[in-house]
Structure 1
Amino acid sequence: MSGGNNDVIVVGGGVIGLTTAVTLAESGHRVGLWTRDPVTRTTSAVAGALVWPYRIEPAERVGGWLERSLGRYEQLALNSAETGVRGVAGLMTDTPLDSLGSWASRVRGLREARADELPDGFGQGLRATVPLVDMPVHLRYLEERLRAAGGTVERRTVVGFEEPSREAPVVVDCTGLGARELVPDASVYPVRGQVVIVENPGIDEWFVSAIPGSTDTTYVMPQPYGVLLGGTAADHSWDPRPDPAMARAIVERCARIRPALAGARVVEHRVGLRPARPRVRLEAVRLPGGGRLVHNYGHGGAGVTVAWGCAEEAARLATA
């Protein structure tokens, strides 16, 4: 039995939790967001944040979530200074056009790259203009938007869902990697990502080369705060500390693609643990006390990419 002032409590302050809370609050529900960490210190804040699917399943559902999210981000990009969302052109290598889902028809300027547009050593790639998100700015924007819609944000650490269910009849679980212990769900595991931020030597396009199954990826994301260079994808690694040798290797890989990066001054090192799962869990269950619990976690490396589509589905499940 709930005894609080909220209709819904969303647990988790990353991009999935914030977007879900905003969606619910703007639909007229009284929403409280509980987050263990400040929103700008969540895993989401470390993301390269290119709107493109990466390390996420099931493919047959991801496309729909992505299409709905893409439309939202394109609208947000009209006010990039406030939202942190920009439409940026770039190159995705080793990704045949016919390997993409129906969502690809929504991507601006998507086409096969010409041979003269490919860096040395690459035989195929796609050019496109897609949303690229400055995550610290975007997370603050979402938090402010939630408050403007009447929602509240509290720093609270929970050890189970009984606590929020005593304060609201519906709880939405957007705890990411935390679901491993909270649910508990042993199928959730970390995919460690390390990135390096350098001063921008004049790069204005993104570049991604992510070979499936490889622990090393190469990506260059020009952001307002510098260029975010990546990266790594180490399954089941919990180490939050930047590895100096990995950082050097990241810069070297990126400099082979964009030689101007070789001498760029390093501003910051970041590590994030992507909340991976064989499939995203997005479903409603009953709590022992009769409340409703909606799970929305396991988005791997594509939380930003599918955030709005998943939020809309989670909101429907929360209010059904």
Structure 2
Amino acid sequence: MIVVGGGVIGLTTAVVLAERGRRVRVWTREPAEQTTSAVAGALWWPYRIEPEASAGEWALTSLSVYQELAERPGETGVRMVEGVQAGLRLDELGPWAGRVPELRETGEGLRALLPLIDMPVHLGWLRERFLAAGGVMEERSVSDLAEAVESDAVDAVVNCTGLGARDLVPDPAVRPVRGQLVVVENPGITTWFTAAGHGDARTTYFFPQPGGLICGGTADEDEWSLVPDPAVAEEILRRCAEVRPEIAGARVLGHRVGLRPTRHAVRLEREPVSGGRVLVHNYGHGGAGITVAWGCAEDVAQLVGG
């Protein structure tokens, strides 16, 4: 079996399949640390993802896994951290919200204890867990999914190529939503904060990570540039400092840009291919790939019979 794609969706899917006894190879164009997943702010929350009902179930499955992984934060990169989703109410969310422990309304919005994930650490941990289960990593570029489907001794292929699916499938419904972040020296902030409307192009959030305070952000549809915009970075810090004034004087450590692989709905389905082989698509998770990764991986395992 081949999993194409080495971001958080691909690696998590590969782990689940390998630990169920499947012989799995991951084909990835670049190391996990260079994927879009590596630059994510990485707070668990079903953000900009459809269909809502399925996404809620995938997210809750993943939440259970992250809660367990948070018992070993140094190893897995997962911590449970408290924070506020400003301006949100429970009745604005789907049924999944009622099953999130400690999610409650306050005068500011919704307060919760949620998984916050240090992605470079987590991606490295996923890779090692996959290898320990007997998996094989191969760095190679793929110009057509047929390369994987028609490989010798392959009975199934899982397409976890994210934005790459736009050309590989091809699926023009997959579009980039550009996100820009600024990492600053943490002035002592221990809780996360978000104020992000579902369709807003400008959002305000900050996440305390071990390598600094990650401040954001943007959600620019159909923007492909990976070059940080200094004016946008300045505006991000200004908005964050309106919430926590101490951010204004924090030393800037770096800038990050990622392209969320967005689609009108996640494509998680089995596609018939010739020769009795199985092709399963698992892409289009937008800004919520980390949030739904384990739930989607479980569904993939069912579709491939693993």
Please say whether Structure 1 and Structure 2 have the same fold, judged by a TM-score greater than 0.5.
yes
1:210 aligned to 2:199? no
Equivalent in the alignment of 2:145? 161
Q: How does the TM-score come out when normalised to structure 2?
A: 0.97
SS at match of 2:124: helix
Letter in 2 for 1:240: L
Is the CA contact (8 Å cut-off) linking 2:39 and 2:119 kept in structure 1? yes
Cα deviation, 1:264-301, whole Å, max 9, x if unaligned, reads 01111000000000000000012234321100000001
C-alpha deviation, 1:309, in angstroms = 0.2
Which residue pairs with 1:267 in the alignment?
253
Opposite residue 207 of structure 1, the aligned amino acid is F
| Structure 2 equivalent of residue 43 of structure 1 | 36
Q: Does 1:79 align with 2:65?
A: no
Deviation, 1:108, is 2.9
Please give the alpha-carbon distance, in whole angstroms, between the structure 2 residues aligned to 1:30 and 1:212: 39
CA separation in 2, counterparts of 1:225 and 1:39?
A: 18
User: For residue 18 of structure 2, what is the aligned residue in structure 1?
Assistant: 25
1:144 to 2:137 alignment: no
Match of 1:298 among 281, 284, 298: 284
Query: What whole-Å deviation, never above 9, does each CA across 1:130-177 have from its counterpart, x for those lacking one?
Result: 000000000000000000000011101111122112131100000000
Q: Which amino acid aligns with 1:56?
A: I
- Write the distance in 1 (CA, Å) between the matches of 2:199 and 2:23: 43
2 CA distance for matches of 1:106 and 1:227?
Answer: 29
Shift of 1:92: 0.1
Question: Which residue does 1:65 correspond to in 2?
Answer: 58
Which residue in 2 is equivalent to 1:237? 223
Q: Which residue number in structure 2 is paired with residue 5 of structure 1?
A: none
Q: What's the % identity of the aligned pairs?
A: 60
Partner of 1:221: 207
1:190 aligns with 2:190: no
Give the equivalent residue in structure 2 for 1:307: 293
On the 8 A contact 1:171/1:293 being kept in 2, the answer is yes
Show the counterpart of 1:12: 5
Counterpart Cα distance in 1 of 2:67 and 2:90: 21
Maintained 8 Å contact 2:47/2:198: no
* Cα distance in 1 between the residues matched to 2:202 and 2:92: 21
**2:303 counterpart SS class:** helix
Range with bigger deviation, 286-295 or 52-61: 286-295
* Kept in 2: contact 1:107–1:129 (CA 8 A): no
Task: With the length of structure 1 as denominator, give the TM-score of the two structures.
Answer: 0.93
Rounded to whole Å, the distance in 2 between the matches of 1:171 and 1:160 is: 12
Letter in structure 2 aligned against 1:220: F
Structure 1: tracts of 5 or more residues without a match: 1-7, 119-124
Counterpart residue type for residue 245 of structure 1: A
Q: Distance in 2 between matches of 1:191 and 1:160?
A: 23
**What is the SS of the residue equivalent to 2:173?**
coil
User: What are the ranges of 5 or more consecutive residues in structure 2 without an aligned counterpart?
Assistant: none
- Counterpart residue identity of residue 209, structure 1: A
What is the deviation of 1:101?
A: 2.3
Residue matched to 1:108: 101
- Per the TM alignment, residue 97 of structure 1 is displaced from its structure 2 partner at its CA by 0.8
Distance 2:189 2:100 in 1: 22
1:135 aligns with 2:119: yes
